[in-house]
Chains A and B, each alone.
Chain A
Amino acid sequence: MARSMNLVLNVWRQKNAKDQGRFVRYDAKAINDHMSFLEMLDVVNEDLAHKGEEPIAFDHDCREGICGSCGMVINGVPHGPAKSTTACQLHMRLFKDGDEITIEPWRAGAFPVVRDLVVDRSALDRIIQAGGYVSVRAGAAPEANSLPVPKLDSDQAFDAATCIGCGACVASCPNASAALFTAAKISHLALLPQGGPERTDRVRKMVAQMDAEGFGHCSSHKECEAVCPKDISISFIAKMNRELITAMSVAPNEIKSRSKG
């Protein structure tokens, strides 16, 4: 049997990047507990549209927890209270009638608010552009036995590659650090033979871009790991640190510092 509940939302409303922004209270009425968190917001938005008010803007795309578009801080936790779950996969059954829910956008200097709960995460794209690729023609999947990869390496590369780039790690970090994101992207390529030739340049360029974007440093609080919808381990941050320290001491060429945007 589906339960129905009434909730009170405190939602961050901000017209544009220049607007100061404020919290606005909304009643979310007759919410079915089978709904996802985003569907609950859809209901509230429909109500707002009927009243002629501006709906709450939030990012979303696949609503299957795999695209990394959605993300908001729900009662102080990025993506809300369910572990290993994106906001779109968060079910309303985890809330109860009468609950008050505070919803905020990711807070980081490198993630300026575009509108309401939507932030500009292109800083993460620029970290990828700095070196999160391999400069070879990828083509179709190669014949499996032509390039042997040890099982453990492939498993770890896969674990790192599950990062969907949602930015929850930055949002949860006391220092607004993008270390977990950057580390995951560096590690998944560093673990595979295809990533080998550009390994030392990649880590230096990506870390330089991460710093240039104004993200903070890692201070091992593990908040990122705890909210990551893909359970990416902070052991990848240690791997990134190891990669950078090695690269800085062995790489023959210099890397230029990078600029934001």
Chain B
Amino acid sequence: MATQKALTLLDTTVGKKAALAVSGVILFGFVIGHMLGNLQVMLGAEAYNAYASGIKSKPLLLWGVRTVLVAALLVHTVIVLELYGKTIAARPVAYKVKKHIATSYAAMMMKYTGPVLLVYIIFHIAHFTYPGVSFGDYDPIAGDVYANFVNAFRIPWVVAVYVIANLMLGMHLYHGAFSMLQSVGLSHPRYNNRVKNIARGLAFLVTAGNVLLPLTVFLGLAK
């Protein structure tokens, strides 16, 4: 018999899923705020730059939030890798014929949307925050986030990358919104449908807003 140790919540698959849910809800909350904040780009250069410098003027808040987000992302990633390893081992021989009769496309795609989003997050931070990269014939200007935004989204392939990545984010959130409630045990026959619809509605709004953002330049909503 293997050496036995006292079990903690995080030793169990149930606890790992709960941690995945908690880190997920933090990231979910952030993308809502991120989407709403950036929609201000449609208010024009002055408002958008003021919003950006407003955030920069509160370094404690900025770095506090950044720390929490990085921690959440790390937890989310490490736990998924742990669980994924277990899942591979849990079915060593695959079925020849297997039908999926209940699951959603979004749920089946989680294992692809997750890694894609991780790469996208790194790309996105490198693109706009640190160090700030130009993919076209312009120089990123520190402090003028409006100009950087408009210049970046004049390039069709950049727009395409952002639109595709955010559609993937939408799918990820669609399944995650339901699954995280289940993982922490928030299920009640009277409220299930309502809560699920709210969660999925939020996922839809985030996606709609985030897909609109890179298209604003083409649509003439930001110039």
Q: Which residues of A come within 8 Å of B, CB atoms?
A: 10, 23, 73, 75-77, 102, 104, 107-110, 174-177, 204, 207-208, 210-211, 214-223, 225-227, 234-235, 237-245, 248-249, 254-259
* Interface pair B91/A219, CB less than 8 Å apart: no
With a CB–CB cut-off of 8 A, which chain B residues contact A109? Answer: 89-92
In-complex Cβ contact of B102 among A217, A221, A244 (8 A): A221
Q: Which residues of B come within 8 Å of A, CB atoms?
A: 1-2, 4-9, 11-18, 83, 86-87, 89-104, 107-108, 110, 175, 178-179, 181-187, 189, 192
With a CB–CB cut-off of 8 A, which chain B residues contact A104? Answer: 95-97
With A215-B90, A220-B179, A237-B182 as known contacts, state yes or no: A207 contacts B103, CB within 8 Å.
Answer: no
A239 to B97, CA, bound (A): 32
With a CB–CB cut-off of 8 A, which chain A residues contact B5? Answer: 256-257
Residue in B closest to A219 when the chains form the complex, CB atoms: B179
A259 to B4, CA, bound (A): 8
A223 to B181, CA, bound (A): 18
* Sampled A-B contacts (27; CB under 8 Å): A23-B96, A102-B97, A104-B97, A107-B91, A108-B91, A109-B91, A109-B92, A174-B108, A177-B90, A207-B14, A216-B83, A218-B14, A220-B107, A220-B183, A221-B102, A221-B104, A221-B107, A234-B182, A240-B14, A241-B14, A241-B184, A242-B184, A244-B14, A245-B14, A255-B7, A256-B5, A257-B5
With a CB–CB cut-off of 8 A, which chain B residues contact A240? Answer: 14, 185
* Interface pair A259/B1, CB less than 8 Å apart: yes
A234 to B189, CA, bound (A): 11
* Interface pair B4/A220, CB less than 8 Å apart: no
Q: Which of A104, A177, A241, A255 has the most CB of B within 10 A?
A: A241
In-complex Cβ contact of B12 among A73, A244, A249, A254 (8 A): A244
User: Apart from A176-B90, A177-B90, what are 4 other A-B pairs with CB-CB below 8 Å?
Assistant: A76-B98, A110-B90, A219-B17, A241-B17
With A238-B186, A241-B14 as known contacts, state yes or no: A204 contacts B87, CB within 8 Å.
Answer: no
In-complex Cβ contact of A220 among B8, B13, B182 (8 A): B182
Residue in A closest to B98 when the chains form the complex, CB atoms: A76
With a CB–CB cut-off of 8 A, which chain A residues contact B99? Answer: 75-77
With A77-B101, A248-B15 as known contacts, state yes or no: A242 contacts B185, CB within 8 Å.
Answer: yes
Residue in B closest to A204 when the chains form the complex, CB atoms: B7
A214 to B85, CA, bound (A): 11
With A218-B17, A244-B12 as known contacts, state yes or no: A107 contacts B95, CB within 8 Å.
Answer: yes
A102 to B97, CA, bound (A): 7
With A214-B90, A244-B12 as known contacts, state yes or no: A223 contacts B103, CB within 8 Å.
Answer: yes
A214 to B14, CA, bound (A): 13
With a CB–CB cut-off of 8 A, which chain A residues contact B7? Answer: 204, 208, 254-257
With a CB–CB cut-off of 8 A, which chain A residues contact B83? Answer: 216-217
With a CB–CB cut-off of 8 A, which chain A residues contact B9? Answer: 244-245, 248-249
With A219-B110, A241-B183, A248-B8 as known contacts, state yes or no: A175 contacts B87, CB within 8 Å.
Answer: yes
Distance (Å) between the CB of A84 and the closest chain B CB? 13
With a CB–CB cut-off of 8 A, which chain A residues contact B86? Answer: 175, 214, 216-217
* Interface pair B87/A176, CB less than 8 Å apart: yes
In-complex Cβ contact of B96 among A102, A210, A256, A259 (8 A): A102
A258 to B1, CA, bound (A): 9
Residue in A closest to B183 when the chains form the complex, CB atoms: A241
Residue in A closest to B18 when the chains form the complex, CB atoms: A245
